[in-house]
Structure 1
């Protein structure tokens, strides 16, 4: 560092004795000299960094070889599957760290000169940029070294596992490129799939009459149905069970009883049966006991049941544990998105595009549907200018939605809430997703696609439906969104909520209350969710017992007549001050600050909220929660899952 001190002293002497006209010229020369000096010292210490980078690449290749070998073998050991999952997670973390170091360094180079201001000399900026760059390099070196150490130690610990892999039989699989395999195969659920297969193939001792039930729980669009369909299409499962039946939603009770009666009259009554049940939330306890009793009389030993649901309440029906699915980590999501986006192209040959891809992947909020849509669009428009424009558009949509609703658009879509989107070519034109549903491959889907409307030039008028994404893997769902301009939707307006819950010390305005009830009566779950969100915002901000009491009275009317609203009342809030708690939890610590007798008023509001909460949960137990899905209208009772999986 003495050289830098001498250089800085020389600069000060020259600045003091130079003419003003020569100051900028001398500053430029000294700035360049300083930058070169800092770069020299950085390069002197970057030798170990290059070595760590190369070693990490070699270790990642070794880990990938182990995982590839495990993917083509029938592994039944749960312990070995868990170890492979840990190795895969560590490998993906190492890939993410390496990609971040490689690609974001190009972003640092592009923004190196953005700190320059009119009041700062070129010498100071050069020194600042140089030292900041060296600090980032040291931090990157520590992360690379940590990733290398973790992965190396794990591979050493799994030496015995690699030798045991040879003892498991190989599966037949065509040699595909990774991007083709990810588009046509289930990603990241190998361990969960093998756990389900082990449960289905396991046989208990004769004489046991209890049904074997495996619950699979997880949030919406996490891959529960895909996991079950993937398992049911396995040759071992098809050979093990004489019949595979899929039942869906609230009407599965009648379908189940009908299937059992029909099966009792056929020659398959003494053969194994696999029943896969998809429910939205919970299952009524009495209905489950009735169906279990009927199944014990009409099915043979060895019949298995798999239940998928978003609610963890179905855990109580499980007999052999529970499988919980979560969204992929950032590292898993980045690996999936990078592979689909670049395909057979090496990302290292396009570091600036890879850096943009990493930023775009962060906007997905770990949504696989969003990753598939964006990967297809970016692959078709492999141009850096388009990618820059696309990233700016995505960030603007997220910012606008968070300012209006306080949550990410992907979170709103997963919760079937109203979601505001825009058009890439028109800044002032907004679109709203007010409904969504799924269809199977045999059913008709809209001709207009998501890319045509949001990123293309198609401008449908009024309300319209678009094909958002078509899955290429079982159960071959197609996702359809119902779009409209905000002025054309029938969502409950805020003015109606505010008018019905005004601060006036008088009964609620009947006109506004009737408008709220009219717009939510017989409407879909998305419309009811908008009303619940408006009431939640109103309750979270008020400190007036009059407003709180009117909100509770309006909610009471909706609870008594709308099962969808009951779900929204007991559903945990995705974000905000009461994130993770239901709507009525907003009033647990309510305190009136607008009236003199605040204690009495506050106690009344809290008591009313407690009563309403108990009322909602009581009504929810009487009837199974409903979830509107249009593809239910065409489902034939007793439809076999094996028929739906046919290509």
Structure 2
């Protein structure tokens, strides 16, 4: 039987060897192009580029980079899945091997469409790199950005990843010159759905050293009545006194209140600017410049973000089982940052294939119980619905589901008070119970309680807190009533 099996495998390998050769060569070429593109993007992102055409070219190259890695990792995961199905041990080294027939063979299972996709990605990336030499020369003329040691991690930790171009557009708007006699200050509307990253974007703008050197004072106005006013930065410059006011709205602007606000703002020094963020399209009418629209990440961008956060500087293919689970998890989350932050806190605490597999099963069960969350075809704000979010637990016989009725943020850092919702400002304590403990049966509180969903380890070091209630399965509840 063993000899027959070996002959069968040899026959299949010989049959597909000619077909596989171009595919593997294409993957090798893709990997080389991605390394080149990655080096160019990394170098350019370290420069203070102000030219809009160059920023657009950098954005295109960055998108091609994400698509390329998504395609490469997808093929690699198929190889690993095929190897597992055929009983081959891929071990810890998981590159596209020229010597492992099991790995080479399974790539063809994606069919001709997969090869077409690979060809299309290669041509697109080659086209983006066609004028790379000129771009490198021009970008090298711009000054380097001064970064704090933790800046790269800060961008990722606060979902700024993939928003570099948007951030530069905002900063360029802030630096636009204004006629000294013009009392109408510039207003930039930023529009996007909830949790897409509007607050995170303006937060990073407000802590940028260039912005803090240009404006003497930065203030935040929150709420539809503008009562949540907080001055978060004041450099004591009594000469220029340029002011940056960031207005965060939940919905539409109260027109009468806005008129009074603009009338009062005319007393501000020339060069002062306003940024208004909202989910409403109506704020476009109040802008003095075209609006900036934020959208959720595409699957390619989100996967790159997901794997960098999960694996850091490690090569994902050094952990083939985990990479396969991670890609499945990223697809399940559908670029939902709220879900990602919860899963990131859980998965990074235990880098184990069995644990990740269990978490993936819980994630899929969660989507079944909450189809209105993480649904790209029908995006809704889960917190605006009159129904709780149900999170399944590992020990369903005793815990059932965690019912999430509300979410808010707390922080012990007073300088970021403007980020907190009204319900959070009076309570800055960190819950002792974590969502992870609840999901895996390590904590069994009774009644209503609060739980820590995730915690930022980098300033502003906020805590995301869920208001929870345990729900027992119907069968268990019925037995309890009968007793």
Say if 1:160 and 1:285 are closer, same or farther in 2 by CA, change over 3 A.
same
Match of residue 434, structure 1, among 396, 405, 420 = 405
Match of residue 277, structure 2, among 308, 312, 315 = 308
Match of 2:295 in 1: 326
Distance 2:448 2:198 in 1: 31
Contact 2:221 2:228 in 1 (8 A): no
Contact 1:226 1:473 in 2 (8 A): no
Distance 2:151 2:176 in 1: 34
Match of 2:101 in 1: none
Q: SS of 1:156's equivalent?
A: coil
Which structure's residues are more often strand, by fraction? 2
Contact 1:412 1:419 in 2 (8 A): no
Match of 1:219 in 2: 193
Match of 1:337 in 2: 306
Distance 1:364 1:217 in 2: 23
Distance 1:60 1:283 in 2: 45
Contact 2:392 2:439 in 1 (8 A): yes
Contact 1:226 1:475 in 2 (8 A): no
Q: SS of 1:394's equivalent?
A: helix
1:235 Cα shift?
1.5
Query: 2:22 aligned with 1:48, yes or no?
Result: yes
1:368-517, aligned counterparts within 5 Å? Answer: 368-402=337-371, 408=375, 413=382, 415=384, 418-426=388-396, 429-442=400-413, 443-472=428-457, 475-486=460-471
Distance 2:24 2:237 in 1: 69
Distance 2:410 2:225 in 1: 17
Say if 1:475 and 1:311 are closer, same or farther in 2 by CA, change over 3 A.
farther
Distance 1:283 1:469 in 2: 32
1:53-68, aligned counterparts within 5 Å? Answer: 53-68=27-42
1:43 Cα shift?
2.0
1:199 Cα shift?
1.0
Say if 1:461 and 1:178 are closer, same or farther in 2 by CA, change over 3 A.
same
1:441 Cα shift?
3.6
Contact 2:370 2:390 in 1 (8 A): yes
Distance 1:154 1:270 in 2: 43
Query: 2:238 aligned with 1:272, yes or no?
Result: no
Structure 2 gaps of 5+ residues are 88-103, 414-427, 474-483
Match of residue 139, structure 2, among 162, 165, 170 = 165
Larger-Rg structure: 1
1:255 Cα shift?
5.0
Match of 2:90 in 1: none
Structure 1 gaps of 5+ residues are 1-24, 114-129, 489-647
Match of residue 282, structure 1, among 247, 252, 261 = 252
How big is each residue's C-alpha offset from its partner over 1:297-343, in whole Å with a ceiling of 9 and x where there is no partner?
Answer: x2222111111111121111110111111111111111111112122
1:414 Cα shift?
5.5
Distance 1:407 1:89 in 2: 22
Which structure's residues are more often helix, by fraction? 1
1:251 Cα shift?
3.0
Q: SS of 2:225's equivalent?
A: helix
Say if 1:251 and 1:406 are closer, same or farther in 2 by CA, change over 3 A.
closer
Match of 1:236 in 2: 210
1:87 Cα shift?
0.6
Match of residue 146, structure 1, among 85, 102, 120 = 120
Query: 2:323 aligned with 1:354, yes or no?
Result: yes
Say if 1:411 and 1:382 are closer, same or farther in 2 by CA, change over 3 A.
farther
Distance 2:150 2:221 in 1: 34
TM-score by length of 1: 0.62
Distance 2:125 2:228 in 1: 52
Distance 1:180 1:214 in 2: 24
1:32 Cα shift?
6.2
How big is each residue's C-alpha offset from its partner over 1:17-48, in whole Å with a ceiling of 9 and x where there is no partner?
Answer: xxxxxxxx8xx987764443222111232111
Contact 1:186 1:473 in 2 (8 A): no
Match of 1:592 in 2: none
